[in-house]
Every structure is written in structure tokens, then in C-alpha cells.
Amino acid sequence: MRVRLKLYAMLSDYLPPEAQSTNTLELEEAEEITVASLIERYRLPGKWVQIVLINGVFVPPEERARRRLKEGDVLAIWPPIAGG
Amino acid sequence: MGWTRKVLRVDLTSGSCKSEPLNMELAQQYLGQRGLATKYFVDEVDAKVDPLSPANKMIMATGPLTGTMASTGGRYSVITKGPLTGAIACSNSGGFFGAELKMAGWDMIIFEGKAAKPVYLWIENDRAELRDAAHLWGKTTWDTEEIIKKSHQDPQIRVSSIGRAGESQVLYACIINDLHRAAGRSGVGAVMGSKNLKAVAVRGTGGVAVKDFKTFLQAATEAKKALADNAVTGQAMPAFGTQVMMNAINEIGALPTRNFRDVQFESANKIGAEAMREKRPTDGKANLVTNAACFGCTIACGRISQVDKGHWSVANSPKYWGATGGLEYESAWSLGADNGVADLDAITVANMVCNEDGMDPISFGATVAAVMELFTLGVLSKEQIGVEAPFGSAQALIELAHKTAEGQGFGREIGQGSKRLCEKYGHPELSMTVKGQEFPAYDPRGIQGMGLTYATSNRGACHLRSYTVSSEVFGNPVKTDPLVTEGKADLVKAFQDVTAVFDSAGICIFTSFAWGLPDIQPQLDAACEGGWTVEKLAEMGERIWNMERQFNNAAGFTAKDDDLPKRLKTEPAKTGPAKGLVSGIDKMRPEYYKVRGWDAEGVPTKETLARLGL
């Protein structure tokens, strides 16, 4: 199963160097994987895991442990941000 | 205290500068800056005034926290009737000018009439006089500031000025202070130009007193700690600036692209915050040089950028080679995604031109987007525009920026804004505006609350009147679903009223990412007489909003003007989470009127006005 992980702002430091210029990592997963397990694998600090989107749609904190990624899904994560 | 209790009234027609006491009764109802200056304005000016006539007035106003030790306490606003919109205009700027004006001893300056020839206002503490500006007319804001500082032999003078765009009355001309901070929207710079007022230069050495210094210092210190401890204001904004929004808003499918034809830009990652930090392959340097702070700010979200000296857009223009004000999210969007342009250095240079000659990059970029669509449709030709202008053309963007700033060729038409330009060429539906003002960088199909925000904004389409993105995207203070209309009327009203308080205090709205009214209330109450409670502030915010609405209604606006362009109501988003959705503005608007205590025509009821003391 192929999924895509995108990490932005301070979280881009947690990507492998070769993925930092695009903020994107292509993943080939043998088994089903949850949002929380990917967050854990890349050791993303909990305080910086704020905006979690699958294909652009927000995944609330209480759903992240059981929410499984599907073939082709894009998981994108930001720390707390704002602008204007 | 907090207030200096002094107003400078400048009659440009007669050339007089007079001091008068601040109306403290009104200050207790409207606080300062946006609220208090708008109250002065609506009491003194006929709502039907021609914005570019001498009968229009223009007020530069500080808030009670401007010039104090409150974090971000350096703001000032320009209040007038906007020529782009015909509505109330209130444009807020940071930098250092506002604090300098306050420390010179003035809460606000009211400009009346029109000078017979170009002048600038020179203020040195309590002395104020109009001086000849013949030698400054035709100069950019950058040159104007330098010449004034040199001629007064004082590099610490702060200057707010118009560039050539304001002189030629580009309808979205802004007023630039400190080289790259702007009272940006609605064309306040054109009003200044119409009065033959080139600049205001000020030197203030008096400081600002507060009511209870010990309590104030404690409150300000605690509030600064809240900003530092908050991940947004303490970490993300100083490191990445507002530009951190680019990829996030693109990901949720609400990044307007190619004049709102699309809601996602395939090259967003080339023009956002992360791209600004990447080293260029051409010269090995990053676009972002450093962050920067305005007066008293402990957030420091500002961007200082430098482009590649060998970039085609500046190869023969050394004046653009230095480090200067860089891209914010709104300007990167309007000059970039909205035009389909992915050249980061070109966008940065177009933004420099906007700063240099004083143009709102949101309205300029969005008007170019409309031109590019008209070119794509074959309505406008290369011969008319003077350049091939398909979506994605960085060359067209740069050329049109210079032409508009200098008032040359087709730039004169672009300077009228997209509403007038699209109407002239028979396609009014292609102007992405409300009340004549161009949209900022959030698509109402993907963030429904922002559609209601734009439609009901008192100064025309604007994100800084009710930033529901905080809730709908970032979950601050609570997460709401961006794709639904339910609950958005209440949300928009709440954001609008609270924002009016921040804008009247002298502080930056970006503090609201960490502060609520309970955080600014102790600072205001320690600085100002009057027993400022959270409840008093909240009611004041609602009062200000309704006062602005009444002015617009008297100017001729009706419920029909609280609407969005047809495209956003009939052309569904093509991609992303909002795919298939249009804006639900027609459902939200009546709900909003009800929440506001307005009748079905959008007019505040007698009960609402009485409750708010209007």
C-alpha cells in the first residue's frame, strides 16, 4: 500500500534530509497503518501535532489511534500555526 | 491615561494645524484607534461624500496601548471613506510610526480639505506644521522617507507616505510607513493623494503614560509570557511568518487559484514559507534573510527577504537587490497562486514594487488575475495590455506591477481595481470582490465562514474583520467544520466584535492567536481610566461594528451588497475536500442578520441600536 506523508513548518525537521525540500515522503507499507502509528514512527512531538489532515480533511485527536490509512491517502501534519 | 488626550486637526485648505482636547466621553464608549476615530469620522462627514473630494476627511489614529510596553503596542489606523469601495475604510499598520506619533503627544490627526499644492506634515512633539513637498512629489515611498530624514538631519524620524500610486489615485493605493509596513486596504493612500498630502513625518520623545504603572507592567508581562508560551505566537509565527499558511490552505482545498477558477495550486509548495527558507540553486542563498518585529512586538512575524541579484526581474535594477520587506501569506497568494505564478523571486519583487510605490498587493494581484482571465478568454489582447498575459506569466506580473505603480499604459486601468475593469470589458462576473474590494486568500467554498465574513465585512471583502479560519481550520478557540454553514453566523459575529476591540486598543490582531479579551482587559484597565471590564469591551466591539454598518447603510449600501460573486455560488470547487461545494452565503446571510439584531434588509433594529447606545 502506498501512502504519502507530508510534514510542514517545524515538523519538516523530522523528515529524512532527502524529503525536506518537498516536505513529502512516499511510503510503501506492507500492512495497514494508523495515523497515530506514523506519528509515533517519526517521533513527532505531541505538542506539535496539531493539524492532522487525511486528503485535506481534519482528523480529530480522538480518532487518530484507530483511523487507518488507505491506498493513495495523503497524511499531512502541521504544528499549531496561524496567519492572515 | 493611555490616551494623550490631544487631537491634531489639520486643515489642508487653509494650512492650519490646531490642537484640541480628545473627547473623553467618546473615548469611554469607543476606546481609541478604529472605534474612536470612526466615531469622530461618522459624526463629522456626510456618508454620501465623494471619497476623493476635499469634503472627505482622513484620520490617522493610535490606540491607548500604542507606544506603551504592551506587546505589539505600535499600531495605528487610517480611517476615511474608501474610494475603492465607497464604504467606511479602516486600514491598520504596524512598524514604528504609530508609536512615534503617540510619543509626540497625539492620539490622532484629523486631516480636512485639500492643499493647493503638495505638502507634508512635520510633527516634532507638540509642534506641527505643513511644509512644501514639491521636491517629494513623484518620488517613491522609499525615496520620500530617505529625503525627509536627510533634510531634517534625523534618522530617527518616522515617516508615513504615499508613493506614485497614491499620487495618481490608484484606487487601492496604500500608505506606507517604515519602508514596508502598510495601512493597506481600501485605497486610503488615494485619499491622501487627493488631498495633496505626500507624507507625515514625526519625531516624538515624550513617552506614553499609563494610569497605574505597576499593575500595567505586571499585566503586560503576564500577557507577553502567554505569547511566548503559545506555539503559534512563540514559535511558528517568528520562524515561518504568515506564509506558513500557504501549504495548509492548499491542502484543505481553499487556496483560490487563477482568479478563483480552482481551489488548489499545483505549485503552492514553491511559494510558501518552507520555500522561502530553501537555498536557491542559482546563488545558494535563501529568499528569507531574517524575521523582524514592529514596535514593542514579541512575536516578530515579519519577513525580510532578498532576491537573487541575477534574477531576470532585477538584473538591471540594483535598488531591488537589498534585503527588504518580504512576502506575507496574503501577498504571496495574490501575486502568486491567484495568478498561477510560481516564481518566488518574481512574486517577491512584485511585492517590493507594491511597497515602493504604495499599492495594496492583495487588490493589485487580484486585479491582475482578472486581467489574466480576460486575456485567456480572448476579451483582452496583448496589444491592449501591452504584454502577453496568460495565467502563470511572471513576466506579465512584473511588467504590470511597474506600469500600475507608475500610472503607465494599461496600468492605469489595473489601478481602478477589478470591479471597474471587469465591468468596462463586459464581464463583471469575473471580478472577485465584495463592495468593490478584492478577496484575500481563502476560498469561501472550502471555508464557508469566510464567505459570510467577506460578504458582511464593513470595508469590503477582507479576512481581517473576522478570521474564522482560526476556528474552521486551526481549531482556535474551538474546531468547527469548514465545509458546513451551520453555526457560522454566530461565529462570524463573535470574531467581528472581538476584532473591533483589538483594532481599537493599539495592538496587533495577531495577538488574538494567544490572547482573548480576558488577556487584554487587565492591560487596558491598568492603562486607562474608566473601569474597563471584559463585558464593557465586548459590548463596545458590537457597538463599533453597528456604527460602521450604519455609515455604510447611509452611504447607500443595502443587503444586496452583502453578497458574493456568482462564481462562488454556482461553480463548485473542482478538487479537494470541498469538491462539488459552492458557498452557502444565501443560507448564512439571513441567519447572520438575525444574530446581529438587524431586520431582513440588514438594517440594525431600533432595539439593537438602543441596546448599544447608538
Please give the pLDDT value at position B462: 97
Q: Which of A21, A51, A56 sits opposite B253 (nearest CB)?
A: A56
Distance (Å) from the C-alpha of residue B577 to the closest C-alpha of chain A? 6
- How large is the average pLDDT for residues B260-269? 98
For A48, the closest chain B residue by CA position comes to: B231
Domain count, chain B: 3
Interface of B with A (CB under 8 A): 230-232, 235-237, 239-245, 247-248, 251-253, 269, 273-274, 278, 328-330, 463-464, 467, 469-470, 473-476, 479, 509-510, 513, 576-577
pLDDT at B120 over 90: yes
pLDDT band at A84 (very low <50, low <70, confident <90, very high): confident
**B12 and B58 part of one domain:** yes
A:B CB pairs within 8 Å: 97
Any domain includes B398: yes
- How large is the average pLDDT for residues B250-268? 98
Please give the pLDDT value at position B310: 97
Any domain includes B437: no
Q: Which of A47, A74, A84 sits opposite B231 (nearest CB)?
A: A47
pLDDT at B1 over 90: no
- Give the tens place of pLDDT for each residue, B430-445: 999 999 999 999 999 9
All structural domains of chain A, each given as residue ranges with its CATH number in brackets, are 2-78 (3.10.20.30)
pLDDT at A83 over 90: no
**B345 and B317 part of one domain:** yes
- Whether the Cβ atoms of residue A77 and residue A11 lie closer than 8 Å to each other: yes
pLDDT band at B428 (very low <50, low <70, confident <90, very high): very high
Distance (Å) from the C-alpha of residue B240 to the closest C-alpha of chain A? 7
**B423 and B456 part of one domain:** no
- Give the tens place of pLDDT for each residue, B136-175: 999 999 999 999 999 999 999 999 999 999 999 999 999 9
Any domain includes B151: yes
**B196 and B323 part of one domain:** no
Distance (Å) from the C-alpha of residue A18 to the closest C-alpha of chain B? 13
Any domain includes B601: yes
End-of-domain residue from the set B203, B235, B269: B203
3-state secondary structure B565-592: CHHHHHCCECCCCCECCCCCHHHHHHHH
- Give the tens place of pLDDT for each residue, B450-477: 999 999 999 999 999 999 999 999 999 9
Please give the pLDDT value at position B197: 98
For A47, the closest chain B residue by CA position comes to: B231
Q: Which of B273, B479, B577 sits opposite A57 (nearest CB)?
A: B577
**B419 and B483 part of one domain:** no
For A49, the closest chain B residue by CA position comes to: B231
Question: Are B329 and A84 an interchain contact pair (Cβ–Cβ within 8 Å)?
Answer: yes
pLDDT band at A21 (very low <50, low <70, confident <90, very high): confident
Nine cell digits for residue B509? 490582531
- Residues of chain B with Cβ-Cβ distance to A9 below 8 Å are 236, 239-240, 244, 273-274
**B584 and B470 part of one domain:** yes
Indicate which of B227, B247, B510 best probes the interface with A, i.e. most A CBs within 10 Å of its own CB.
Answer: B247
Q: How many residues does chain A have?
A: 84
Q: How far, in Å, are B42, B62, B123 from residue B103 at the CA level?
A: 27, 10, 11
Indicate which of A5, A6, A7, A8 best probes the interface with B, i.e. most B CBs within 10 Å of its own CB.
Answer: A8
Q: What is the CATH number of the domain that holds B469?
A: 1.10.599.10
**B426 and B511 part of one domain:** no
Please give the pLDDT value at position B606: 98
Q: Which of A9, A21, A48 sits opposite B244 (nearest CB)?
A: A9
- Whether the Cβ atoms of residue B523 and residue B70 lie closer than 8 Å to each other: yes
CA B153 distance to own-chain centroid: 31
**B149: CB partners within 8 A, 6+ apart:** B155, B157, B159
Mean pLDDT of chain B, nearest integer: 98
Q: How far apart are CA B438 and CA B408, in angstroms?
A: 22
Q: Of all helices (H) and strands (E), which one includes residue B9? A: strand B6-11
Q: Which of B252, B278, B329 sits opposite A83 (nearest CB)?
A: B329
**B166: CB partners within 8 A, 6+ apart:** B173, B174, B175, B189, B190, B192, B193, B358
**B113 and B180 part of one domain:** yes
Question: Which residues pair with residue B159 across a beta bridge?
Answer: B201
- Report the share of chain B in percent with pLDDT over 70: 100
End-of-domain residue from the set B203, B222, B239: B203
Q: How far, in Å, are A21, B334, B423, B424, B565 from residue B428 at the CA level?
A: 41, 19, 4, 8, 9
End-of-domain residue from the set B203, B221, B248: B203
- Give the tens place of pLDDT for each residue, B204-219: 999 999 999 999 999 9
Any domain includes B107: yes
Question: Are A84 and B464 an interchain contact pair (Cβ–Cβ within 8 Å)?
Answer: yes
- Give the tens place of pLDDT for each residue, A28-76: 999 889 999 999 999 999 999 999 999 999 999 999 999 999 999 999 9
Q: Which domain holds residue B303?
A: 257-431
For A77, the closest chain B residue by CA position comes to: B248
- Whether the Cβ atoms of residue B313 and residue B237 lie closer than 8 Å to each other: no
**B387 and B505 part of one domain:** no
- Give the tens place of pLDDT for each residue, B342-364: 999 999 999 999 999 999 999 99
Distance (Å) from the C-alpha of residue A12 to the closest C-alpha of chain B? 9
Distance (Å) from the C-alpha of residue A80 to the closest C-alpha of chain B? 5
Any domain includes B140: yes
Distance (Å) from the C-alpha of residue A31 to the closest C-alpha of chain B? 26
**B508: CB partners within 8 A, 6+ apart:** B72, B75, B94, B294, B297, B299, B502
**B460 and B372 part of one domain:** no
